[in-house]
Amino acid sequence: MIRIAIVDDEKIILNQVSRLIKESIDEEIFLDVYESSRDFARKIEKSIYDIIFLDIDMPEINGFELAETLTFVKPNITIVFISHLEHLVFRSFRFKPFGFVRKSYLEKDIDYIIDEYKKELSKIREIYFFKTIYEESSVSVSDIIYFESMGHDIYMHITDNKYKLKRERGKELSMKTLSEQFEKKGFIRIHKSFLVNFRYIYKINKNNVELKEGKPIDINPHKVKEIRDRFQHFSMMEE
């Protein structure tokens, strides 16, 4: 679950930001909204949030003042500023915010911020966010058995399903990029068309790899030693 707070004295903006966040995050969220910055300030110390969207220009307590308190009592919290005063982006840097949302580009900026935040979550929580032609979803990396390339398509096999990954304009999706992303997480490129989670490998033979679940996968016989070495390396790290 992701715990989120939005603080903005404009009710229309509160509703728009809430809607955009809900549309951008596929997992369960806990969302609080505050139209009064003073109400939020009273609850700062006892509140538990992962990320807070703060309007800067508010009549009671402005966003910078709230951020100053937050960085003192909740130093690990993620702050995103919201404002129609775009020149304030430079002043916001002193609080090291995760991002800055311009009210004139609300949808575009929220979309970008949430996308970047999910990437950070992916690193911290070992969650992989992916898209198919039907939906956007997420899966625990430990549940991914292997990635498979078939022609121009890439499939992700998990414990109880298979997904055809969607290619997006401007974002490269290939076995090469997946290898770069997942090899540090315990995945082994056993073949040009297969990237396998070592946790699901049962046995490495001369011509194939037997998985704990599913049929054997052919490998390049010349890479058997390399595959075995990598498997041993990851196994020792897990002990």
Q: What is the CATH number of the domain that holds 119?
A: 3.40.50.2300
Specify the DSSP element, H or E, that contains 138: strand 136-140
Which strands make up the sheet holding 208-211, listed edge to edge?
201-204, 208-211, 217-218
- Asked whether the predicted pLDDT for residue 91 surpasses 90, the reply is no
Residue 155: give the domain boundaries: 127-238
**pLDDT in the model for residue 238:** 63
Domain limit, last residue, from 55, 90, 125: 125
For the record, the structure tokens of 158 come out as: 């998990």
Are both 180 and 85 inside the same structural domain?
no
Q: In CATH, what number is assigned to the domain containing residue 228?
A: 2.40.50.1020
Band (pLDDT 50/70/90 cuts) for residue 107 is very high
Decide if 34 contacts 27 (C-beta within 8 A).
no
- Asked whether the predicted pLDDT for residue 239 surpasses 70, the reply is no
Looking at the 3D structure of the chain, how many domains does it have? Answer: 2
Are both 9 and 71 inside the same structural domain?
yes
Are both 162 and 231 inside the same structural domain?
yes
pLDDT tens for each residue of 159-189: 778 999 998 777 789 999 999 999 988 999 9
Backbone angles phi, psi at 56, to 5 degrees: -85, -45
Decide if 92 contacts 56 (C-beta within 8 A).
yes
The pTM for the full model equals: 0.56
For the record, the structure tokens of 64 come out as: 């910078």
Domain limit, last residue, from 125, 150, 169: 125
Domain limit, last residue, from 125, 147, 175: 125
- Asked whether the predicted pLDDT for residue 77 surpasses 80, the reply is yes
